[in-house]
């Protein structure tokens, strides 16, 4: 097996199934997969499960498309290690550990061998990207392997801080716009995107893990009278709909608090972010349109949504605050 293949699927000692390993390896070999970049988190919402991460979008300045694609390739593959295929928890942790070892090698100025990092390393060096942001992403993906419940909203936001916010911060470093205010607003956008992804995927996530993965804060579920079994069984009860309405309103408020960032950044950078914000808000509208029954039909962006998204990206709201 070639070095690229070996590092794509992990050491043979991991014992990964051949089918799962092949799928992961194929994704490693397709860094330019046509996903539209922001979350991982922030993983735009019309395509695939890493949809809040618009990869090398035509809205981005051409000089940034390759750096953005390199970051995406890292985040997408690491997220797949945590979530996709039929790997055991130990196998997932081992694959993520290989990525951590590659970051350690970069920090110690030692050679990197993994194809993802051969592409990413010069981007990190040229733009002086903080390695801790990549470590935070890996830490969140490791958490996905073993954590299936979130105690309260603060617990969930701590996860978003590591699973989504680093992507926006990396983009601001690429843009040369990583001021304190910009970082704060970026965090709000990215965390909101992560929450939106959770709320549109409540039913999908409930089928993951040994006991179903539920991102809805446990204290909110108790307050609204929604038990785990309601989510696992995909029952859109009146109490569940009220709970999800509360979460949708909270995600929208968070997104709007960060939205001025898109109007503060210049040119195509700002347009890209405004499109991301508009896309996220549109998904929330769609969750409302199905009366919060995300089990029957997963709300997502369709082709006919994009003219509205682009209009909202170009026309500044009268109540937009700086």
Residue 78 tokens read as 């690491």
CA distances 48 to 32, 92, 229, Å, are 14, 21, 27
Q: What number of other Cβ atoms are within 10 A of residue 50's Cβ? A: 25
**How far is the C-alpha of 78 from the C-alpha of 64, rounded, in Å?**
21
**How far is the C-alpha of 47 from the C-alpha of 231, rounded, in Å?**
24
pLDDT in tens, 198-251: 999 999 999 887 788 999 999 999 999 999 999 999 999 999 999 999 999 999
pLDDT category of residue 183 using cuts at 50, 70 and 90 = very high
- Indicate the pTM of the whole model: 0.81
Residue 297 tokens read as 């039909």
**How far is the C-alpha of 249 from the C-alpha of 153, rounded, in Å?**
13
Say yes or no to pLDDT of 56 above 80: no
Domains and CATH numbers, the chain: 25-314 (1.10.600.10)
């Amino acid at each position: 097996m070639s070095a690229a293949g070996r590092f794509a699927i992990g050491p043979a000692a991991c014992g990964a199934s051949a089918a799962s390993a092949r799928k992961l390896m194929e994704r490693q070999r397709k860094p330019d997969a046509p996903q539209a970049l922001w979350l991982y988190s922030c993983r735009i919402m019309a395509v695939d499960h890493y949809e809040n991460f618009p990869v090398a979008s035509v809205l981005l300045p051409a000089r940034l498309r390759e750096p953005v694609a390199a970051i995406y390739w890292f985040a997408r593959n690491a997220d797949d290690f945590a979530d996709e295929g039929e790997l055991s928890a130990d196998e997932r942790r081992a694959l993520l550990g290989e990525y951590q070892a590659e970051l350690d090698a970069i920090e110690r100025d030692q050679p990197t061998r993994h194809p993802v990092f051969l592409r990413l390393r010069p981007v990190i060096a040229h733009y002086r990207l903080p390695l801790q942001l990549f470590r935070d992403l890996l830490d969140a993906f490791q958490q996905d392997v073993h954590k299936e419940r979130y105690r309260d909203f603060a617990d969930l936001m701590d996860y978003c801080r590591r699973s989504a916010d680093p992507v926006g911060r990396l983009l601001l470093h690429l843009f040369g716009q990583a001021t304190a205010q910009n970082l704060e607003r970026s965090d709000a956008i990215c965390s909101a995107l992560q929450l939106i992804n959770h709320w549109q995927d409540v039913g999908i996530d409930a089928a993951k893990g040994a006991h179903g993965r539920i991102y809805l804060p446990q204290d909110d579920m108790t307050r609204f009278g929604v038990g785990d079994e309601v989510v696992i069984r995909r029952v859109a009860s009146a109490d569940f709909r009220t709970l999800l309405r509360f979460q949708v309103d909270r995600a929208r408020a968070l997104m709007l608090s960060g939205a001025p960032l898109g109007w503060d950044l210049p040119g195509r950078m700002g347009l890209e972010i405004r499109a991301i914000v508009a896309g996220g808000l549109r998904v929330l509208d769609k969750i409302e349109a199905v009366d919060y029954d995300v089990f029957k039909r997963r709300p997502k962006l369709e082709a006919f949504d994009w003219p509205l998204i682009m209009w909202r990206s170009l026309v500044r709201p009268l109540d937009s605050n700086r």
